[in-house]
Structure 1
């Protein structure tokens, strides 16, 4: 049910369409919860039928009508109840780390390539999170935002995502350095 709670949290302050939620998930929420658009739309429908969300139709002249979802009182109560529970500990499931664990039997050039690709994707996500954080801050400093801002949850989760991606990039660079020193004969040209 974590997707359900992530959607309630994303909708708690404002109504949104499924399309806009999918974009928001890619831009910010993805740093702590991933989903496909199909899963998202299915869950929105279930949540509406369960009374956690309400939807209204907005007519559009040049596009199909869109549905805007908002959290109901029952949805607010469910989210409040969710925040009272102790969350499950985080578990890493990462195929690249399995490949690194099997280093003694790995194809070193391929592994280097995978690590470089990871660094590149983490760099793109880091830049995206930093842009989103800059949008939240606007022209305020962090201290000004913390004193007056209303989106503290996204501020905090973006900082976690930024730290996570920075750590992934640092680890990738460390791993490439170790591989270069330990396996110089397998260096890519």
Structure 2
């Protein structure tokens, strides 16, 4: 280590590293994604589904106060079919499981990217409270055909609202237009995944 002249300085350096490490977003960490423009958290309810398009579990910008159980995320790979939003021509955003799909591995999408909205790509290195843009490269078109050169779309929330039953939701979509304030999210670390070594 450079510029460490005493044991106390070494201990201080070690403490700083531990603090920085504890603030990093790591694989399988639990996070909340706060929409910068509205202060609302990316949310979903388990039994709330789109009535058109994919009919998958719906995603929306929810409560503005603090993260609740419906706004906590563990980002994993998953099937992503592309359907139009119920209120416009953007791409619907949903949660779903691939367990019901035979050969589900063909639908796994590892192309979600988290980029610093002001600076550069930080693939593999994000810390709590970074302001980011979230994007995905669409690998399948609206008909379900594989498109290796598909467009990159960004996660956006905006003022457009829609109803399902008696409930009103603030929409979250993916788009491939110019980026702006509606495309910025703050990633908040809620809990880091603790890796263990299996000794069996």
Which structure shows the higher strand fraction? 2
Query: TM tier, shorter chain?
Result: under 0.3
CA radius of gyration, larger in = 1
TM-score w.r.t. structure 1 length?
Answer: 0.21
User: Of the two structures, which has the highest relative contact order with CA contacts closer than 8 Å and spacing of 6 or more?
Assistant: 2
